[in-house]
Amino acid sequence: MKLEGKVALITGAGSGLGRQSSQLFSSEGARIAVVDIDGDRAEQTAKLVEQQGGEAIAITADVAQKSQIVSAVDETVKHFGKLDIAWANAGIVSRGGVPTVAGGESVLFEDLTEDDWQHVLGINLSGVIYTAQAAVPALKANGGGTILATSSAASLVAYHDIALYSATKAGVNGFVRGLSLDLGPYGIRVNALAPTHGMSPNFLMPAGSPVVGQSYEEVSGPWDPFVSPIPLKLNRPPSLVDNAKVALFLASDDSAYITGATIGSTDGGTLSRVGMWFAEDLDQKNPNA
């Protein structure tokens, strides 16, 4: 197993990618500290891990509050005796969201408030920095380990109405690059994954909504790869597991010599496009038809 004997702390693990990855990491031998601002969701994830034969603890913490994530790391080390993997996965979309996806209303950039900015900044970027800071002493004491962050395709290309979110995720990429140099001498790798597709609708749903457990593409109806804008045509939609497997790669010794990298996960060729459409894009034919 890829994570045999490892201890992994995952923030934002009460739903979506964090929950799916908690289960996957556990199946690969890791013991899991499930951290989420929603304590009930954290408990539910921990129970799912235990039901599949794994070991997990649930910790309620707001990653935007440094003292809370420091306490979460301390509790993890106290319970499991060490820390090998710290994954800063918690994130929120900026106010206005992605209305073309969620069916919501746009918010003009100039109408966003200081509180809007501080809220998304606190969780998406400060939360990543605080999680890394809290984890470093334990990782150094352990003789090395992995810091992982969840970035986004929005850090690499433009999406409508989420400029604040994009700014925080681009900050994650720069932070990962810089911190990898500082922590390399201690045997600590620092990387990020940038999901494009295969993410949970919970990301755009109000707090406390039922956990969906599937990707946008899986819940949107029958899958037709030749209707999907994803250039890579496969006979199934992208899933949370597809992103979780990239995280597993970055957390495991399979990526022992990768650090300072942001990897586009479940991209399917989307980020390979240039900023214009070609006739071939607009009139794709199913080669199997």
CATH value at residue 11: 3.40.50.720
251 is a domain residue = yes
Angle at 88 between CA 32 and CA 80, to 5 degrees: 25
- 153 domain residue, yes or no: yes
- The least confident of 58-72, 151-165, 250-264 is 151-165
Tell me if 253 is assigned to some domain.
yes
pLDDT value of residue 202: 79
Answer yes or no: is 2 within a domain: no
User: In this predicted structure, what is the pLDDT of residue 285?
Assistant: 62
Give percent of the chain above pLDDT 90.
Answer: 77
Per-residue pLDDT at 211: 83
pLDDT number for residue 250: 98
Mean pLDDT of 107-130: 95
By percentage, how much of the chain surpasses pLDDT 70?
Answer: 92
Residue 111 within a domain: yes
Q: How far apart are CA 36 and CA 42, in angstroms?
A: 6
Residue 101 has pLDDT above 70, yes or no: no
Assess if residue 263 is contained within a domain: yes
Number of domains the chain is built from: 1
Provide the residue range defining the domain that includes 20: 7-281
Query: Residue 204's pLDDT is what?
Result: 72
Does the structure show a pLDDT above 60 at 20?
Answer: yes
Is the pLDDT at 262 greater than 60? The verdict is yes
Task: Round to the nearest angstrom and report the end-to-end CA distance of the chain.
Answer: 41
pLDDT tier for residue 116 given thresholds of 50, 70 and 90: very high
Q: Is the pLDDT of residue 103 over 70?
A: no
User: Residue 67: inside a domain, yes or no?
Assistant: yes
pLDDT band (50, 70, 90) for residue 274: confident
CA distance 151 to 245: 15
Residue 156: what pLDDT?
A: 94
Mean pLDDT of 203-225: 84
- Residues with catalytic annotation? 165
Considering the domain boundaries, does residue 186 fall inside one? yes
| Weakest mean pLDDT among 86-100, 137-151, 202-216, 255-269 | 202-216
Q: What is the mean pLDDT of residues 62-81?
A: 98
